[in-house]
């Protein structure tokens, strides 16, 4: 029998206790509009409940750090993390492991974007013309909206973001959709954004690509992943991994923005990202 429990509040009594083998609570980094995420992840919860014949609860997170903290405390036993948040969660929970990712995630990308009034145009080279302009990242804990863009800024310019941009006007919007919207509105002259979110917002008419211009596409890097808490136990983790990899319904894959499909993942897949995060002092 399918058992689904959606959007229940976190219960403090669950914290730090072993997960009920008949219940799965999961969360995800809030990299887009929270209302849209609820609708998307409720579909994933229903699918997992059917596949595993257990109660599945999607627990929304207020921000990137909250999703990591919920995983650390045991309030959730599965999370859809970005590369950096996944690294932080696994570093804090011995035995936690990445188990699945989209087929695109080993070679993920960011876009550097700019408002049309900057006069900057698309290029195959890093947009050096953004120097001295106002700029916004996404979340401070985002891989595609902060970690990797900062790495490429330093690599391509020899400067920190504060040195390269108008330092007092560099900010963190909180998520990718807000970054794109702020640049589209001209609030910031430039920004760094998850390429899938940008493409989706263009397709849905939420931003105008002639106004919010894609200036540069970064080289690829490992990013998003499903990470499982060891409290689930090895047998349940294996079943969960199989269910995620076996997700073939186009509607579910679209909800996860992974229409290309889901593949297995391991902690070792993110070793290069871990080295970089430590180099930039972003892994704690």
Q: Where are the alpha helices (DSSP H) in 16-129?
A: 34-52, 64-73, 83-92
**Are the beta carbons of 261 and 253 closer than 8 angstroms?**
yes
CATH 3.40.190.10 residue ranges in the chain? 3-105+223-279, 109-217
Listed residue (220, 215, 239, 225) closest to 269, CA to CA: 225
Q: Encode 247-280 in three state secondary structure.
A: CCCHHHHHHCCCCCCEEECCHHHHHHHHHHHHHC
Q: Is the model's pTM score more than 0.75?
A: yes
Share of the chain above pLDDT 90, in %: 83
Contacts of 133 (CB under 8 A, 6+ apart): 114, 118, 165, 166, 189, 190
Q: What is the pLDDT of residues 232-243, one digit of tens each?
A: 999 999 999 999
Measure the CA–CA gap between 186 and 212, rounded to whole angstroms. Answer: 8
Q: What is the pLDDT of residues 176-216, one digit of tens each?
A: 999 999 999 999 999 999 999 999 999 999 999 999 999 99
Tokens of 143: 């891989």
Q: What is the pLDDT of residues 255-266, one digit of tens each?
A: 898 999 999 999
Tokens of 247: 């997700």
Confidence of residue 20 (pLDDT cuts 50, 70, 90): very low
Average pLDDT over residues 53-75: 95
User: What is the predicted pLDDT for the residue at 284?
Assistant: 67
**What's the CATH superfamily of 3-105+223-279?**
Periplasmic binding protein-like II (3.40.190.10)
| Strand-pair partners of 278 | none
**Are the beta carbons of 62 and 30 closer than 8 angstroms?**
yes
User: Regarding the domain delimited by 109-217, which CATH topology (the fold level of the hierarchy) does it fall under?
Assistant: D-Maltodextrin-Binding Protein; domain 2 (3.40.190)
């Amino acid at each position: 029998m399918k058992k689904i429990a959606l959007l229940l509040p976190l219960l403090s009594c669950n914290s730090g206790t072993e997960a009920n083998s008949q219940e799965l609570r999961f969360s995800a980094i809030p990299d887009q509009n929270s209302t849209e995420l609820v609708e998307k992840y409720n579909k994933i919860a229903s699918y997992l409940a059917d596949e595993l014949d257990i109660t599945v609860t999607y627990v929304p997170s207020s921000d990137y750090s909250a999703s990591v903290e919920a995983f650390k405390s045991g309030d959730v036993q599965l999370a859809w993390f970005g590369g950096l948040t996944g690294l932080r969660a696994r570093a804090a929970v011995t035995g936690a492991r990445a188990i699945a990712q989209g087929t695109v995630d080993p070679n993920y990308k960011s876009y550097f974007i700019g408002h049309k009034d900057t006069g900057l145009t698309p290029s195959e080279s890093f947009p050096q013309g953004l120097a001295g302009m106002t700029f916004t990242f996404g979340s401070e804990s985002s891989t595609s909206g902060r970690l990797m863009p900062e790495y490429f800024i330093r690599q391509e310019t020899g400067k920190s973001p504060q040195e390269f941009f108008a330092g007092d006007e560099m900010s963190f919007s909180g998520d990718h959709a807000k970054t794109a919207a702020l640049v589209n509105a001209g609030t910031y002259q430039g920004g760094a954004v998850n390429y899938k979110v940008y493409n989706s917002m263009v397709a849905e008419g939420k931003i105008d690509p002639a106004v919010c211009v894609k200036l540069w596409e970064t080289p690829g890097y490992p990013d998003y992943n499903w990470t499982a808490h060891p409290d689930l136990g090895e047998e349940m983790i294996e079943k969960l991994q199989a269910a995620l990899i076996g997700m073939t319904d186009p509607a579910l894959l679209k909800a996860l923005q992974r229409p290309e499909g889901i593949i297995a993942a391991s902690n070792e897949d993110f070793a290069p990202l871990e080295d970089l995060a430590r180099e930039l002092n972003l892994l704690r």
